[in-house]
Amino acid sequence: MTKISVAALQLPLGGDEQENLEAVGYLIADAAGQGAQIILPPELFAGPYFCKTEVEALFALAKPVSESAAVAAMQKLARQLGVAIPASFFERDGNHYYNSIAMIGPDGEIIGVYRKSHIPDGPGYQEKFYFRPGNSGFKVWDMFGTRIGVGICWDQWYPETARAMALMGAELLFFPTAIGSEPYDEELDTSRMWRRAMQGHAVSNCMPIVASNRIGMEDGQAFYGHSFIANEWGDLVLEYGSEDIGTLVATFDLEQARTHRAGMGFFRDRRPELYGRLVEDV
């Protein structure tokens, strides 16, 4: 398939799981109605972003992929609408806990699970308390005649994430996110840097990027939205601000992007023999 339509969702997410799943489901149906084939909800969309503080009781939110209400709801929607959904959820695997994506195909089946590789730890984002670093490695999936890669939030700051998925054959990159204010510095607004980092991935890998974020106040922490879709040049094709609720839907000609990617020579001119320092400890 040469052309493919993708969507990013943006919305506030409160404390009631069922209400969140219904709100996400409404936007997914809206995106599908606009022709979207791969639809991206934000990170950990089943509830508020719970990683602001370290609370032992919150481990009860984690479920195996087969028992996650969020994953099950997305499977049902995917099957009904014939769309693919990278569904973010808090995963429990025995005594291990992960921030994960269940990649759901248009038949509603789970194609695979990706576990977040880079885990942040700082004021307002104390994820190392909850999540073990992912052991799945980066993953790509064949979908609607193309191959896609999905990173999760903090993964998006690392150029290695995008490049690894591109080298695995990805032609579209997706990043579900939960990011907002920085409690240690009220003057710091990372929203511009956040977008630029991923726009850089689009440019240096010459492929479109889809990013979804939540909005609203959660226990004093403001999530700034600014979800967007960028083309293979890193240009913002569609974007939301900090208060918009809805779906961004864009269609890309992947054959055109593939031609641009070949013409730019970014993969032709790589020098892997010089990159050993990248895999050494600092």
Residues forming the active site: 43, 116, 153
Q: Tell me the C-alpha distance between 88 and 61, whole Å.
A: 13
Asked whether the beta carbons of 104 and 85 are under 8 A apart, the reply is: yes
Please give the Cα distance from 238 to 229 (Å, whole number): 5
* Dihedral (CA of 239, 123, 201, 104) sign: negative
Q: How far apart are CA 86 and CA 136, in angstroms?
A: 15
The answer to whether 70 and 21 have CB atoms below 8 angstroms apart is yes
Q: CB neighbours of 111 closer than 8 A, spacing ≥ 6? A: 103, 104, 105, 141
Find, among 192, 180, 190, 257, the residue nearest to 218 by Cα.
180
